[in-house]
Structure 1
């Protein structure tokens, strides 16, 4: 760092020093400076307590407790020349302690802080002033919402163990910042540089977006894992229930998919399927040979028996030709049930099994006739 001498049109180099070399300490100096000017940490902050120890069942105390313009508590930990190895764990503990504080408790904590200063100031009034230029007034503002606590670590030097942990925690949306404070000296003058090093200011928005993306991916993976377990459980119960009642689905294993298929149609490429979703469940005959034209031919030939099939099945089936796709299907659905609601499982299972048995019976003879015509066509 250099001092510009405008008169001489020169720059003078400042000497980088440690806090201990020039006799400054964490509590008597760095903590006092940040208490007096918290905005030096890059944003408007209101200090509401110093050396706060108002936690249940512990005598631990955090250096500075602040609140930001969005009503989030900010835990500020100062470590002077070196962070040590355990500062992240220490700060996370403090954040967890503070996470339970209610709005009225925060007001009391701030009032106690103001009382120590002896100026007769009122906490609620000071808080009202701090938030007066925000979207909501202090009365309307929700303070210290769940998992919104922020952590600021301040030190001259950050150990690798600390920076590595901080970068990892950022991926899990822990709101952490690291500030490097460096003292300089020039003759009898002292200077202090405060630099946000994690996340770097210019990339902060990108890192936050990446953390959101990672969390979305992790959440999706967990949801998918839970869904797969549910499907395996549902299909296991359904297969156990249908065993011995029909010739199909007797050697099929449960899967993680939202459908479960079985042969037994007598024609390769045609299968019976169960389908379960958030809004309905259905049974179907799926026609999916490699050749789309052959699928359409089978569908059209089978539909010639539609009246007979519907009569034997007991309901009107839905015939879906899907002209622009390879597949065709014939289906019957139960609307208004949700696979993700276990209370719907019994109704869904009964519907699927009863109607699949009836569908196989209703399709048996027509499929034999279609197979004969298909063989004749291929010859």
Structure 2
């Protein structure tokens, strides 16, 4: 690594160091750096435990356990100046141990980690925020194969060879090379993804996926997506018999469907999860300030709207977010329990019709202002 001296127009060598001569330790230093900034690994991860030892009949500990943005578990093994011969075997063992962790297990593991760190937040809330999902019942964790990330200053040939073979056989593995440098008593850390090579990563993944598709015949089974499609199909059939509002809307694999209100940025929404059903008017015209002003103008008609609707509504200005909503809920029902469907569909369709009628005149008056 070189430092460019612009005044002298020359490249000055920066001294390459080993972790040992800098007196850095695996757990005390490298592990903590990763915990505090997962960009070292080239991606956004949520660390959910360190020195994890929650394996039956073994005292083994994996260095770091994380969740990626798809909800997959990531096993992270840190070594310093040398990867050692056994790091791949260790990582595979830990991945196999973690394959059986349930969503509830992962939540509990993460909650213990937060408690140990003196963090007063709730695991469910942090996981939802990290994954960008509103309700924890919609979160899917460890539903795909586990991933492995190995990090070291040097990787032995037997390690890189095995990692390449595993990658070719659909094991999601990544090797990150870290190199410390010293300049004027300042320590610099260079990171490089050596497996898979960054420029070829997308291509290699596509090839691996193609091979997998050719070898594996997917079994037909009802998934969360197909359950939602079935539910929305039945709801829309019922809704279209009562109203024209959702006439041109198709069933969706998502946990919501929406239609226009006739005004830009205002949509009527149906939302379902494993815990509740909800109807709402979603307000998002692009700018946060405009959305809040519009919500406030509608709110001045609150008494009239709720009187016409026949019940109290949930007025969510959502000051920290861009949009706002006016909602009505049915709690303790689940889209994944078909026995709840008749109650949910009746609630949502009849409530939406009353809801739209109660808001129609108000929106006309408000938008004119």
Cα deviation, 1:230-249, whole Å, max 9, x if unaligned, reads: xxxxxxxxxxxxxxxxxxxx
Q: Which residue of 1 aligns with 2:314?
A: none
Aligned position for 1:209 = 206
Deviation at 1:129, TM superposition (A): 1.4
Please, which of 181, 195, 201 is the counterpart of residue 178 of structure 2?
A: 181
Q: Does 1:3 align with 2:3?
A: yes
State the Cα RMSD in Å.
Answer: 1.8
Aligned to 1:54: 54
Cα distance in 2 for partners of 1:168, 1:30 equals 27
Q: 2:234 — aligned with what?
A: none
For 1:143, the equivalent position in structure 2 comes to: 141
> 1:141, 1:173 → 2: CA distance?
24
Q: Deviations over 1:230-274 (max 9, x none)?
A: xxxxxxxxxxxxxxxxxxxxxxxxxxxxxxxxxxxxxxxxxxxxx
Q: Which residue of 2 aligns with 1:156?
A: 153
Deviation of 1:213 after TM superposition, in Å, equals: 3.5
The correspondence of residues 294-309 of structure 1 with structure 2, limited to 5 A, is none
Q: Secondary structure at the match of 1:119?
A: coil
The SS at the match of 1:69 is coil
Q: Shift of residue 6 of structure 1?
A: 4.7
- SS where residue 77 of structure 1 aligns? strand
Q: State the distance in 2 between where 1:34 and 1:145 align.
A: 24
SS of equivalent residue, structure 1 residue 195: strand
**1:131 corresponds to 2:128:** no
Query: Whole-Å Cα distance in 1 between the matches of residues 111 and 53 of structure 2?
Result: 15
Equivalent residue for 1:191, pick from 183, 188, 191 = 188
Please tell me whether residue 78 in structure 1 is matched to residue 75 in structure 2: no
Q: Match of 1:109? A: 109
Q: CA deviation at 1:145?
A: 1.1
Name the SS for the 2:114 alignment partner.
helix
Displacement, 1:29?
Answer: 0.7
The verdict on how the C-alpha distance between 1:210 and 1:117 changes in structure 2, with shifts beyond 3 A counting, is same
Gaps of 5+ in 2: 218-369
- The answer to whether the 8 Å contact 1:131/1:138 transfers is no
Structure 2 residue 120 is the aligned partner of structure 1 residue 120: yes
Query: Are the counterparts in 2 of residues 149 and 175 from structure 1 also a CA contact under 8 Å?
Result: yes
* Superimposed CA distance per residue, residues 175-196 of structure 1 (whole angstroms, 9 cap, x where no aligned partner): 0000000001112111001110
User: Does the CA contact (< 8 Å) of 2:167 and 2:173 recur in 1?
Assistant: yes
Of 188-197 and 5-14, the range deviating more from structure 2: 5-14
What are the superposed Cα offsets for residues 330-358 of structure 1, whole Å, 9 maximum, x if unpaired?
xxxxxxxxxxxxxxxxxxxxxxxxxxxxx
Q: Which has the larger radius of gyration?
A: 1
Q: Do the aligned residues in 1 keep the contact of 2:71 with 2:142 (CA within 8 Å)?
A: yes
Does the 8 Å contact 2:128/2:139 carry over to 1? no
Corresponding pairs, count = 217
Deviation at 1:39, TM superposition (A): 2.3
Change in 2 beyond 3 A, CA 1:212/1:37: same
1:21 aligns with 2:21: yes
SS of alignment partner, residue 166 of structure 1: helix
1:7 Cα shift? 5.6
- The secondary structure found in structure 1 opposite 2:91 is helix
Following superposition, the deviation at residue 9 of structure 1 comes to 4.9
Matches within 5 A, 1:87-102: 87-102=87-102
147, 162, 166: which one aligns with 1:165 = 162
Contact 2:26 2:80 in 1 (8 A): yes
Rounded Cα–Cα distance in structure 2 between residues aligned with 1:23 and 1:63: 19
Q: Which runs of 5+ in 1 are unaligned?
A: 221-379
The whole-number CA distance in structure 2 between the counterparts of 1:157 and 1:6 is 32
Return the TM-score normalized by structure 2.
0.56
Cα deviation code 1:56-77 (max 9, x no counterpart)? 1111000010000100000000
2:39 corresponds to 1:42: no
Report the counterpart of residue 309 of structure 2 in structure 1. Answer: none
Q: Against the structure 1 CA distance between its residues 127 and 217, is the aligned structure 2 distance closer, same or farther, given a 3 Å change threshold?
A: closer
**SS, match of residue 169 in structure 1:** helix
